[in-house]
Chain A
Amino acid sequence: EVQLQESGPGLVKPSQSLSLTCSVTGYSITSNYWGWIRKFPGNKMEWMGYISYSGSTSYNPSLKSRISITRDTSKNQFFLQLNSVTTEDTATYYCARVLHFHFDYWGQGVMVTVSS
């Protein structure tokens, strides 16, 4: 069974970088696409970006200058880095597998608070 698990710091200071890891079991990240989505307080959700089976990436234009998604195929992990965070980046962050443009498997999510 495909399983995804997010990990990373739950608290980040403003202006610093947010770094999260998505560990995947049961499926190779060298197949399909793998995405990051976040859910803000109040339930608004935002697609952040994805990394493909080949390592190419695509980002939400609203984040393009601050976001980077990378991967380590030897560990079957992919990563999110979001730079210059503000309190508006406080959210629950999810990683998910993309199958034919649908997010068919999701992690449980990790809550990240941006606060000094």
Chain B
Amino acid sequence: DIQMTQSPSFLSASVGDRVTINCKASQNINKYLDWYQQKLGEAPKLLIYNTNSLHTGIPSRFSGSGSGTDFTLTISSLQPEDVATYFCLQHNSGSWTFGGGTKLELK
């Protein structure tokens, strides 16, 4: 089974900050890594798919990078509405495995 290690698990940042969240796979997953955002009480929302493709309607301040085993979600300028839990998801292995999640709060 492919394991996904996400870091940090908690992040506090100020409006306008550049924020990065990382996911590390236990083996090569090529480009098959997605990022999701979940606000309190809401359904998860797809942000980025296949490492760096922005899903429809997602603001351009969100971006993804990486390959193989190491991946990063970047928010270029944090906005108040970005307060949420973020999690990564790999789909290389014929099944799906989630990262542990990162709770992002405003400082």
Contacts and interface: CB of A to CB of B under 8 A. Distances in A.
Interface of A: 37, 43-47, 58, 60-61, 94, 96, 100-104, 106-109
Interface of B: 1, 32, 34, 36, 42-46, 49, 55, 85, 87, 89, 91, 94-98, 100-101, 103
Given A102-B46, A103-B44, A106-B43, A60 B98 contact: no
B43 A94 contact: yes
B55 A94 contact: no
B101 A45 contact: yes
Given A101-B32, A102-B49, A104-B55, A47 B95 contact: yes
7 contacts: A43-B103, A44-B100, A45-B101, A47-B98, A101-B32, A103-B44, A108-B43
A104 B55 CA distance: 9
Nearest to A48: B96
Contacts of A96: 44
Interface of A is mostly: strand
Contact of A47 (B32, B43, B96, B103): B96
The 3 A-B pairs with the shortest beta carbon distances in the complex, nearest first, are A47-B96, A106-B43, A45-B98
A43 B100 contact: yes
